[in-house]
Chain A
Amino acid sequence: MEAEAAKLVGAGLAAIGAGMAAIGVGNVFGSFLESALRNPGAADSQQGRLFIGFAAAELLGLLAFVVAMILIFVA
Protein backbone atom coordinates (compact mmCIF):
# COMPACT_ATOMS: atom_id res chain seq x y z
CA MET A 1 0.00 0.00 0.00
CA GLU A 2 1.23 3.48 -0.76
CA ALA A 3 2.21 5.60 2.18
CA GLU A 4 -0.29 8.32 1.27
CA ALA A 5 -3.13 5.82 1.02
CA ALA A 6 -2.14 4.25 4.33
CA LYS A 7 -2.29 7.67 6.00
CA LEU A 8 -5.82 8.28 4.74
CA VAL A 9 -6.95 4.80 5.78
CA GLY A 10 -5.47 5.43 9.21
CA ALA A 11 -7.28 8.77 9.45
CA GLY A 12 -10.51 7.02 8.54
CA LEU A 13 -9.91 4.35 11.16
CA ALA A 14 -9.42 7.12 13.73
CA ALA A 15 -13.06 8.04 13.14
CA ILE A 16 -13.96 4.81 14.97
CA GLY A 17 -12.54 6.48 18.07
CA ALA A 18 -14.87 9.42 17.57
CA GLY A 19 -17.82 7.05 17.35
CA MET A 20 -16.73 5.27 20.53
CA ALA A 21 -16.51 8.61 22.32
CA ALA A 22 -20.06 9.31 21.15
CA ILE A 23 -21.15 6.12 22.93
CA GLY A 24 -19.26 7.26 26.02
CA VAL A 25 -20.77 10.74 26.07
CA GLY A 26 -24.23 9.31 25.48
CA ASN A 27 -23.64 6.92 28.34
CA VAL A 28 -22.66 9.75 30.69
CA PHE A 29 -25.73 11.86 29.97
CA GLY A 30 -28.03 8.84 29.74
CA SER A 31 -27.01 7.50 33.11
CA PHE A 32 -27.29 10.96 34.62
CA LEU A 33 -30.79 11.45 33.27
CA GLU A 34 -31.85 7.99 34.40
CA SER A 35 -30.75 8.56 37.96
CA ALA A 36 -31.85 12.20 37.96
CA LEU A 37 -35.41 11.09 37.22
CA ARG A 38 -35.27 8.63 40.09
CA ASN A 39 -34.06 11.26 42.53
CA PRO A 40 -34.61 14.75 41.11
CA GLY A 41 -33.69 16.34 44.43
CA ALA A 42 -30.09 15.18 44.18
CA ALA A 43 -29.71 15.97 40.49
CA ASP A 44 -28.66 19.62 40.70
CA SER A 45 -25.84 18.94 43.14
CA GLN A 46 -24.28 16.41 40.75
CA GLN A 47 -24.15 18.67 37.72
CA GLY A 48 -20.45 19.42 38.21
CA ARG A 49 -19.64 15.70 38.22
CA LEU A 50 -21.79 15.24 35.14
CA PHE A 51 -19.65 17.68 33.22
CA ILE A 52 -16.40 16.21 34.54
CA GLY A 53 -17.49 12.82 33.23
CA PHE A 54 -18.57 14.40 29.98
CA ALA A 55 -15.23 16.20 29.61
CA ALA A 56 -13.24 13.03 30.29
CA ALA A 57 -15.24 10.95 27.81
CA GLU A 58 -15.17 13.68 25.19
CA LEU A 59 -11.42 14.25 25.42
CA LEU A 60 -10.70 10.70 24.24
CA GLY A 61 -12.86 11.21 21.19
CA LEU A 62 -11.15 14.50 20.46
CA LEU A 63 -7.81 12.71 20.68
CA ALA A 64 -9.01 10.45 17.87
CA PHE A 65 -9.76 13.57 15.84
CA VAL A 66 -6.27 14.89 16.58
CA VAL A 67 -4.78 11.60 15.40
CA ALA A 68 -6.72 11.91 12.14
CA MET A 69 -5.60 15.52 11.67
CA ILE A 70 -1.96 14.63 12.35
CA LEU A 71 -2.13 11.78 9.85
CA ILE A 72 -3.61 13.99 7.14
CA PHE A 73 -1.73 17.26 7.64
CA VAL A 74 1.46 16.55 9.59
CA ALA A 75 2.71 13.01 9.07
Chain B
Amino acid sequence: MAAEQGKVDPMHQFQIEPLFGSGLDFAGYNIAFTNSALWMAVTTILLWVFVAGGMKRELVPGRWQMAVETFTGFIDDMLEANIGKEGHKYLPYIFSLFMFILFGNLLGLLPIGLLGLHPFTFTSHFTVTGVLAVLSFSIVLIVGFWKHGIKFFTLFVPHGTPLPMIPIIFPIELISFLVRPFSLALRLFVAMMAGHVLLKVLSSFVMDGINAGVGFGLLVSLPSFALMIGISALEILVAGIQAYVFALLTSLYINDAEHLH
Protein backbone atom coordinates (compact mmCIF):
# COMPACT_ATOMS: atom_id res chain seq x y z
CA MET B 1 0.00 0.00 0.00
CA ALA B 2 3.01 2.27 0.37
CA ALA B 3 3.02 4.50 -2.68
CA GLU B 4 5.80 6.70 -4.08
CA GLN B 5 8.10 8.74 -1.81
CA GLY B 6 7.20 6.65 1.22
CA LYS B 7 3.80 8.28 1.51
CA VAL B 8 0.80 6.22 2.55
CA ASP B 9 -2.47 7.29 1.00
CA PRO B 10 -5.09 6.28 3.58
CA MET B 11 -7.91 6.36 1.03
CA HIS B 12 -6.20 4.12 -1.53
CA GLN B 13 -7.45 0.96 0.19
CA PHE B 14 -11.05 1.90 -0.60
CA GLN B 15 -10.46 2.17 -4.33
CA ILE B 16 -12.65 -0.14 -6.37
CA GLU B 17 -10.73 -1.72 -9.23
CA PRO B 18 -12.24 -3.80 -11.99
CA LEU B 19 -10.62 -7.25 -12.10
CA PHE B 20 -12.06 -8.46 -15.37
CA GLY B 21 -14.93 -7.70 -17.70
CA SER B 22 -14.37 -3.94 -17.53
CA GLY B 23 -15.97 -3.59 -20.95
CA LEU B 24 -19.31 -5.04 -19.81
CA ASP B 25 -22.16 -2.56 -19.79
CA PHE B 26 -25.68 -3.12 -18.61
CA ALA B 27 -28.34 -0.44 -19.12
CA GLY B 28 -25.67 2.24 -19.26
CA TYR B 29 -23.83 1.03 -16.14
CA ASN B 30 -20.49 -0.70 -16.07
CA ILE B 31 -20.86 -4.12 -14.44
CA ALA B 32 -17.25 -5.24 -14.27
CA PHE B 33 -16.26 -7.84 -11.68
CA THR B 34 -14.48 -5.63 -9.12
CA ASN B 35 -12.38 -6.36 -6.05
CA SER B 36 -15.45 -5.47 -3.99
CA ALA B 37 -17.46 -8.15 -5.79
CA LEU B 38 -14.60 -10.62 -5.35
CA TRP B 39 -14.55 -10.12 -1.57
CA MET B 40 -18.32 -10.40 -1.36
CA ALA B 41 -18.07 -13.69 -3.26
CA VAL B 42 -15.29 -14.89 -0.93
CA THR B 43 -17.42 -13.93 2.09
CA THR B 44 -20.44 -15.76 0.72
CA ILE B 45 -18.46 -18.92 -0.03
CA LEU B 46 -16.78 -18.92 3.40
CA LEU B 47 -20.12 -18.33 5.08
CA TRP B 48 -21.68 -21.16 3.08
CA VAL B 49 -18.82 -23.52 4.02
CA PHE B 50 -19.06 -22.49 7.66
CA VAL B 51 -22.80 -23.08 7.92
CA ALA B 52 -22.84 -26.20 5.71
CA GLY B 53 -20.17 -27.77 7.92
CA GLY B 54 -22.43 -27.37 10.94
CA MET B 55 -25.71 -28.60 9.45
CA LYS B 56 -25.24 -32.24 10.39
CA ARG B 57 -28.10 -32.19 12.93
CA GLU B 58 -26.39 -34.71 15.16
CA LEU B 59 -27.87 -35.31 18.58
CA VAL B 60 -24.50 -34.78 20.23
CA PRO B 61 -23.01 -31.83 18.33
CA GLY B 62 -19.35 -31.69 17.45
CA ARG B 63 -17.27 -28.55 17.75
CA TRP B 64 -18.19 -27.19 14.32
CA GLN B 65 -21.90 -27.79 14.71
CA MET B 66 -21.67 -26.23 18.18
CA ALA B 67 -20.09 -23.09 16.71
CA VAL B 68 -22.80 -22.69 14.07
CA GLU B 69 -25.58 -23.40 16.57
CA THR B 70 -24.14 -20.81 18.94
CA PHE B 71 -24.56 -18.17 16.24
CA THR B 72 -28.07 -19.23 15.22
CA GLY B 73 -29.07 -19.52 18.87
CA PHE B 74 -27.67 -16.06 19.57
CA ILE B 75 -29.68 -14.49 16.75
CA ASP B 76 -32.76 -16.50 17.68
CA ASP B 77 -32.57 -15.29 21.29
CA MET B 78 -32.22 -11.71 20.09
CA LEU B 79 -35.30 -12.03 17.86
CA GLU B 80 -37.27 -13.72 20.67
CA ALA B 81 -36.38 -10.90 23.06
CA ASN B 82 -37.13 -8.07 20.64
CA ILE B 83 -40.02 -9.31 18.49
CA GLY B 84 -41.49 -12.19 20.45
CA LYS B 85 -42.50 -15.54 19.04
CA GLU B 86 -43.37 -14.00 15.67
CA GLY B 87 -39.67 -13.25 15.36
CA HIS B 88 -38.71 -16.80 14.42
CA LYS B 89 -39.74 -16.39 10.81
CA TYR B 90 -37.17 -13.61 10.38
CA LEU B 91 -34.31 -15.80 11.60
CA PRO B 92 -33.00 -16.71 8.11
CA TYR B 93 -32.82 -13.09 7.03
CA ILE B 94 -31.32 -11.64 10.21
CA PHE B 95 -28.87 -14.52 10.52
CA SER B 96 -27.67 -14.10 6.93
CA LEU B 97 -27.41 -10.35 7.41
CA PHE B 98 -25.46 -10.65 10.65
CA MET B 99 -23.07 -13.31 9.40
CA PHE B 100 -22.51 -11.59 6.04
CA ILE B 101 -21.59 -8.31 7.71
CA LEU B 102 -19.52 -10.02 10.40
CA PHE B 103 -17.55 -12.12 7.91
CA GLY B 104 -17.10 -9.13 5.60
CA ASN B 105 -15.81 -6.95 8.46
CA LEU B 106 -13.44 -9.62 9.73
CA LEU B 107 -12.14 -10.65 6.29
CA GLY B 108 -11.25 -7.04 5.57
CA LEU B 109 -9.05 -7.04 8.67
CA LEU B 110 -7.05 -10.12 7.67
CA PRO B 111 -3.31 -9.38 7.47
CA ILE B 112 -2.99 -11.00 4.05
CA GLY B 113 -1.27 -7.87 2.76
CA LEU B 114 1.86 -9.67 3.98
CA LEU B 115 1.32 -12.24 1.22
CA GLY B 116 0.96 -9.55 -1.41
CA LEU B 117 -2.82 -9.75 -1.59
CA HIS B 118 -5.04 -6.75 -1.01
CA PRO B 119 -7.75 -7.27 1.57
CA PHE B 120 -10.81 -5.18 0.81
CA THR B 121 -13.57 -4.34 3.29
CA PHE B 122 -16.72 -4.10 1.22
CA THR B 123 -18.70 -2.93 4.27
CA SER B 124 -16.68 0.29 4.15
CA HIS B 125 -18.65 1.40 1.10
CA PHE B 126 -21.91 3.26 1.37
CA THR B 127 -23.29 1.52 -1.71
CA VAL B 128 -22.98 -1.91 -0.09
CA THR B 129 -24.27 -0.98 3.35
CA GLY B 130 -26.92 1.18 1.70
CA VAL B 131 -28.30 -1.79 -0.22
CA LEU B 132 -28.34 -3.90 2.97
CA ALA B 133 -30.13 -1.11 4.85
CA VAL B 134 -32.68 -0.61 2.06
CA LEU B 135 -33.29 -4.38 2.10
CA SER B 136 -34.04 -4.24 5.85
CA PHE B 137 -36.17 -1.13 5.44
CA SER B 138 -38.24 -2.59 2.62
CA ILE B 139 -38.90 -5.70 4.73
CA VAL B 140 -40.20 -3.39 7.46
CA LEU B 141 -42.45 -1.56 4.99
CA ILE B 142 -43.74 -4.75 3.34
CA VAL B 143 -44.45 -6.48 6.65
CA GLY B 144 -46.02 -3.34 8.09
CA PHE B 145 -48.40 -2.68 5.20
CA TRP B 146 -49.12 -6.39 4.70
CA LYS B 147 -50.14 -6.95 8.32
CA HIS B 148 -51.78 -3.64 9.19
CA GLY B 149 -52.68 -2.04 5.89
CA ILE B 150 -53.40 1.66 6.20
CA LYS B 151 -53.31 1.35 10.01
CA PHE B 152 -49.53 1.15 9.69
CA PHE B 153 -49.55 4.95 9.76
CA THR B 154 -50.62 4.88 13.41
CA LEU B 155 -46.95 4.02 14.00
CA PHE B 156 -46.30 7.71 13.62
CA VAL B 157 -48.79 8.72 16.30
CA PRO B 158 -47.74 7.23 19.65
CA HIS B 159 -50.42 6.14 22.08
CA GLY B 160 -51.91 8.86 24.23
CA THR B 161 -50.82 11.77 22.05
CA PRO B 162 -53.12 14.75 22.75
CA LEU B 163 -55.15 15.72 19.69
CA PRO B 164 -53.61 19.19 19.18
CA MET B 165 -50.11 17.65 19.25
CA ILE B 166 -50.76 15.21 16.39
CA PRO B 167 -49.95 17.63 13.52
CA ILE B 168 -46.56 18.28 15.17
CA ILE B 169 -45.75 14.72 16.27
CA PHE B 170 -46.71 13.08 12.97
CA PRO B 171 -44.07 14.77 10.75
CA ILE B 172 -41.38 14.33 13.41
CA GLU B 173 -42.10 10.62 13.75
CA LEU B 174 -42.34 10.26 9.97
CA ILE B 175 -38.93 11.87 9.44
CA SER B 176 -37.34 9.79 12.19
CA PHE B 177 -38.80 6.71 10.48
CA LEU B 178 -37.61 7.67 7.01
CA VAL B 179 -34.11 8.47 8.24
CA ARG B 180 -33.63 4.93 9.57
CA PRO B 181 -32.13 3.30 6.44
CA PHE B 182 -29.63 6.16 6.15
CA SER B 183 -28.55 5.98 9.78
CA LEU B 184 -28.34 2.19 9.57
CA ALA B 185 -26.13 2.25 6.47
CA LEU B 186 -24.08 5.25 7.56
CA ARG B 187 -23.19 3.75 10.94
CA LEU B 188 -21.72 0.55 9.52
CA PHE B 189 -19.94 2.25 6.64
CA VAL B 190 -18.36 5.05 8.67
CA ALA B 191 -17.38 2.80 11.57
CA MET B 192 -15.52 0.45 9.24
CA MET B 193 -13.98 3.23 7.16
CA ALA B 194 -12.80 5.29 10.16
CA GLY B 195 -11.02 2.31 11.69
CA HIS B 196 -9.22 1.40 8.48
CA VAL B 197 -8.16 5.00 7.83
CA LEU B 198 -6.81 5.21 11.37
CA LEU B 199 -4.75 2.05 10.88
CA LYS B 200 -3.28 3.37 7.64
CA VAL B 201 -2.45 6.77 9.19
CA LEU B 202 -0.66 5.02 12.05
CA SER B 203 1.22 2.83 9.57
CA SER B 204 2.46 5.96 7.80
CA PHE B 205 3.74 7.22 11.18
CA VAL B 206 5.67 3.96 11.61
CA MET B 207 7.24 4.16 8.14
CA ASP B 208 8.08 7.85 8.28
CA GLY B 209 9.61 7.39 11.74
CA ILE B 210 11.87 4.57 10.58
CA ASN B 211 12.88 6.53 7.47
CA ALA B 212 13.79 9.57 9.58
CA GLY B 213 16.44 7.69 11.55
CA VAL B 214 17.00 5.56 14.65
CA GLY B 215 16.05 8.26 17.14
CA PHE B 216 12.71 8.96 15.48
CA GLY B 217 12.23 5.23 14.97
CA LEU B 218 12.38 4.63 18.71
CA LEU B 219 10.47 7.78 19.63
CA VAL B 220 7.66 7.64 17.06
CA SER B 221 7.54 4.30 15.28
CA LEU B 222 7.61 2.02 18.31
CA PRO B 223 4.68 3.67 20.18
CA SER B 224 2.76 3.97 16.90
CA PHE B 225 3.27 0.29 16.18
CA ALA B 226 2.12 -0.65 19.68
CA LEU B 227 -0.94 1.55 19.18
CA MET B 228 -1.59 -0.13 15.81
CA ILE B 229 -1.72 -3.53 17.47
CA GLY B 230 -4.12 -2.19 20.08
CA ILE B 231 -6.33 -0.51 17.48
CA SER B 232 -6.35 -3.73 15.43
CA ALA B 233 -7.73 -5.58 18.46
CA LEU B 234 -10.28 -2.80 18.91
CA GLU B 235 -11.25 -3.12 15.25
CA ILE B 236 -12.04 -6.81 15.72
CA LEU B 237 -14.34 -5.80 18.56
CA VAL B 238 -15.91 -3.05 16.42
CA ALA B 239 -16.43 -5.52 13.56
CA GLY B 240 -18.48 -7.73 15.89
CA ILE B 241 -20.35 -4.85 17.54
CA GLN B 242 -21.32 -3.19 14.26
CA ALA B 243 -22.64 -6.45 12.81
CA TYR B 244 -24.60 -7.00 16.04
CA VAL B 245 -25.95 -3.44 16.07
CA PHE B 246 -27.07 -3.73 12.44
CA ALA B 247 -28.92 -6.98 13.17
CA LEU B 248 -30.32 -5.62 16.45
CA LEU B 249 -31.68 -2.42 14.92
CA THR B 250 -33.15 -4.35 11.99
CA SER B 251 -34.99 -6.61 14.42
CA LEU B 252 -36.22 -3.58 16.39
CA TYR B 253 -37.57 -1.98 13.22
CA ILE B 254 -39.26 -5.24 12.25
CA ASN B 255 -40.79 -5.29 15.74
CA ASP B 256 -42.28 -1.85 15.03
CA ALA B 257 -43.80 -3.21 11.82
CA GLU B 258 -45.14 -6.33 13.56
CA HIS B 259 -46.62 -4.69 16.63
CA LEU B 260 -47.00 -0.95 15.88
CA HIS B 261 -45.66 0.34 19.22
Contacts and interface: CB of A to CB of B under 8 A. Distances in A.
A41 interface: no
Interface string A46-73: 0010011011001100110110000001
Interface stretch (B57-65, B183-191, B218-226, B229-237): B183-191
A65 B187 contact: no
B187 A52 contact: no
Contacts of A54: 241, 245
Contact of A51 (B183, B186, B244): B244
A2 B156 CA distance: 46
Given A48-B78, A52-B252, A55-B249, A62 B186 contact: yes
A62 B191 CA distance: 7
A66 B187 CA distance: 10
B97 to A, nearest CB: 15
Majority secondary structure, A binding face: helix
A63 B186 contact: yes
A62 B248 contact: no
A14 to B, nearest CB: 12
A62 B249 CA distance: 17
Given A48-B78, A48-B82, A51-B241, A58 B191 contact: yes
The CB with the most chain A CB atoms within 10 A, among B82, B194, B244, is that of B194
A59 B183 CA distance: 7
A52 B249 contact: yes
Interface string B173-187: 000000000010011
Interface string B11-26: 1000000000000000
Given A48-B248, A62-B194, A65-B194, A55 B78 contact: no
A65 B245 contact: no
Contacts of A48: 78, 81-82, 248
Contacts of A62: 186-187, 190-191, 194
B230 to A, nearest CB: 16
A66 B82 contact: no
A66 B241 contact: no
A63 B241 CA distance: 18
A51 B248 contact: yes
Interface in B86-145: none
B76 to A, nearest CB: 14
Nearest to A63: B186
16 contacts: A48-B81, A48-B82, A51-B244, A51-B248, A52-B248, A52-B252, A54-B241, A55-B187, A55-B249, A58-B187, A59-B186, A59-B187, A62-B191, A62-B194, A63-B186, A66-B186
Query: Which 3 interchain pairs have the tightest Cβ spacing?
Result: A62-B190, A55-B245, A59-B187
Given A48-B78, A54-B241, 14 more contacts: A45-B81, A48-B82, A48-B248, A51-B248, A52-B252, A55-B187, A55-B249, A58-B191, A59-B186, A59-B187, A62-B190, A65-B194, A66-B186, A66-B190
